[in-house]
Amino acid sequence: MAVRAVRGAVQLERDEAGHMREQVEELLTAVLERNGLTTDDLISIWFTATPDLHSDFPAAAARHIGIVDVPLICAQELDIEGAMPRVVRLLAHVETELPKSRIAHVYLGAAAALRKDIAQ
Protein backbone atom coordinates (compact mmCIF):
# COMPACT_ATOMS: atom_id res chain seq x y z
CA MET A 1 0.00 0.00 0.00
CA ALA A 2 1.38 3.38 -1.00
CA VAL A 3 1.26 6.64 0.94
CA ARG A 4 -0.19 9.46 -1.13
CA ALA A 5 -1.04 13.12 -0.49
CA VAL A 6 -4.41 14.56 -1.44
CA ARG A 7 -4.99 18.32 -1.71
CA GLY A 8 -8.24 20.19 -1.32
CA ALA A 9 -9.73 23.61 -0.64
CA VAL A 10 -13.00 25.40 -0.23
CA GLN A 11 -13.85 29.10 -0.06
CA LEU A 12 -16.30 30.03 2.67
CA GLU A 13 -19.04 32.59 2.09
CA ARG A 14 -18.71 33.93 5.63
CA ASP A 15 -16.73 33.41 8.81
CA GLU A 16 -19.22 31.52 10.98
CA ALA A 17 -18.49 28.30 12.87
CA GLY A 18 -21.53 26.43 11.56
CA HIS A 19 -20.82 27.44 7.98
CA MET A 20 -17.17 26.43 8.31
CA ARG A 21 -18.13 23.05 9.72
CA GLU A 22 -20.61 22.45 6.90
CA GLN A 23 -18.16 23.44 4.15
CA VAL A 24 -15.17 21.54 5.58
CA GLU A 25 -17.34 18.45 6.11
CA GLU A 26 -18.39 18.67 2.45
CA LEU A 27 -14.74 18.98 1.40
CA LEU A 28 -13.62 16.02 3.51
CA THR A 29 -16.51 13.87 2.30
CA ALA A 30 -15.68 14.70 -1.32
CA VAL A 31 -11.98 13.87 -0.82
CA LEU A 32 -12.88 10.48 0.65
CA GLU A 33 -15.57 9.63 -1.90
CA ARG A 34 -13.70 10.75 -5.02
CA ASN A 35 -10.65 8.72 -4.02
CA GLY A 36 -12.52 5.65 -2.77
CA LEU A 37 -11.14 6.13 0.74
CA THR A 38 -12.45 5.40 4.22
CA THR A 39 -11.38 7.03 7.46
CA ASP A 40 -9.19 3.96 8.09
CA ASP A 41 -7.09 5.00 5.06
CA LEU A 42 -6.27 8.40 6.58
CA ILE A 43 -2.81 8.86 8.10
CA SER A 44 -3.02 12.58 8.93
CA ILE A 45 -4.61 15.81 7.75
CA TRP A 46 -3.06 19.27 7.76
CA PHE A 47 -5.54 22.17 7.51
CA THR A 48 -4.76 25.80 6.81
CA ALA A 49 -7.13 28.75 6.97
CA THR A 50 -6.63 32.24 5.64
CA PRO A 51 -6.03 34.91 8.31
CA ASP A 52 -9.58 36.26 7.93
CA LEU A 53 -11.12 33.07 9.38
CA HIS A 54 -11.49 33.12 13.16
CA SER A 55 -14.75 31.35 14.00
CA ASP A 56 -13.52 27.77 14.49
CA PHE A 57 -10.81 25.23 13.80
CA PRO A 58 -11.28 23.39 10.49
CA ALA A 59 -10.24 20.18 12.26
CA ALA A 60 -13.38 20.42 14.39
CA ALA A 61 -15.39 19.52 11.28
CA ALA A 62 -13.35 16.35 10.83
CA ARG A 63 -14.00 15.34 14.43
CA HIS A 64 -17.71 16.12 13.94
CA ILE A 65 -18.01 13.56 11.09
CA GLY A 66 -16.18 10.85 13.00
CA ILE A 67 -12.54 11.30 12.06
CA VAL A 68 -11.42 10.85 15.65
CA ASP A 69 -8.30 8.67 15.61
CA VAL A 70 -6.37 10.54 12.90
CA PRO A 71 -3.78 13.21 13.74
CA LEU A 72 -5.05 16.63 12.64
CA ILE A 73 -3.39 20.03 12.75
CA CYS A 74 -4.53 23.53 11.87
CA ALA A 75 -2.32 26.42 10.80
CA GLN A 76 -2.76 29.90 9.38
CA GLU A 77 -2.18 30.35 5.66
CA LEU A 78 0.27 33.05 4.58
CA ASP A 79 -1.26 36.50 4.43
CA ILE A 80 -0.48 37.37 0.82
CA GLU A 81 -1.89 40.55 -0.70
CA GLY A 82 -4.49 39.72 -3.33
CA ALA A 83 -4.95 36.10 -2.20
CA MET A 84 -8.42 34.60 -2.25
CA PRO A 85 -10.16 35.33 1.07
CA ARG A 86 -11.91 32.90 3.46
CA VAL A 87 -10.22 29.73 2.22
CA VAL A 88 -9.68 26.48 4.08
CA ARG A 89 -7.11 24.18 2.52
CA LEU A 90 -6.22 20.62 3.40
CA LEU A 91 -3.39 18.22 2.76
CA ALA A 92 -4.35 14.66 3.65
CA HIS A 93 -1.86 11.81 3.80
CA VAL A 94 -3.52 8.51 2.93
CA GLU A 95 -2.81 4.87 2.31
CA THR A 96 -4.14 3.82 -1.09
CA GLU A 97 -3.49 1.59 -4.07
CA LEU A 98 -4.15 4.53 -6.40
CA PRO A 99 -1.17 5.77 -8.42
CA LYS A 100 -0.31 9.46 -8.07
CA SER A 101 -1.89 10.16 -11.45
CA ARG A 102 -5.30 8.90 -10.26
CA ILE A 103 -5.50 10.89 -7.03
CA ALA A 104 -8.50 13.25 -7.14
CA HIS A 105 -7.60 16.61 -5.61
CA VAL A 106 -10.78 18.41 -4.60
CA TYR A 107 -11.30 22.16 -4.94
CA LEU A 108 -14.90 23.11 -4.29
CA GLY A 109 -16.72 26.17 -5.62
CA ALA A 110 -14.63 29.27 -6.20
CA ALA A 111 -11.57 27.52 -4.72
CA ALA A 112 -11.25 25.59 -8.00
CA ALA A 113 -9.55 28.72 -9.37
CA LEU A 114 -6.64 28.15 -6.95
CA ARG A 115 -5.33 25.06 -8.71
CA LYS A 116 -6.88 24.72 -12.15
CA ASP A 117 -4.07 22.32 -13.01
CA ILE A 118 -5.14 19.66 -10.47
CA ALA A 119 -8.72 20.52 -9.45
CA GLN A 120 -11.18 17.70 -10.16
Give pLDDT tens digits for 3-49.
999 999 999 999 999 999 999 999 999 999 999 999 999 999 999 99
DSSP class of residue 15 equals -
Q: If you average pLDDT over residues 75-104, what whole number do you get?
A: 97
CA dist 89 and 107 (Å) reads 9
Q: Angle CA(69)–CA(7)–CA(68) in degrees, nearest 5?
A: 10
- Smallest CA-to-CA distance from 24 within 52, 81, 64, 54 is with 64
Give pLDDT tens digits for 52-61.
999 999 999 9
Name the burial class of residue 61, with classes exposed (0-12), middle (13-18) and buried (19+) by CB atoms within 10 angstroms of its CB: buried
Specify the pLDDT at position 64: 96
- Smallest CA-to-CA distance from 9 within 91, 72, 71 is with 91
CA dist 78 and 104 (Å) reads 25
How far is the first Cα of the chain from the last one, in angstroms, to the nearest whole number? 23
Position 78 confidence tier, pLDDT thresholds 50, 70, 90? very high
Residue 95 predicted with pLDDT over 90: yes
Rounded to the nearest integer, the mean pLDDT of the chain is: 95
Position 1 confidence tier, pLDDT thresholds 50, 70, 90? confident
Q: pTM value? A: 0.94
Position 117 confidence tier, pLDDT thresholds 50, 70, 90? confident
Q: Where are the beta strands (DSSP E) in the chain?
A: 2-11, 42-49, 72-76, 87-96, 106-108
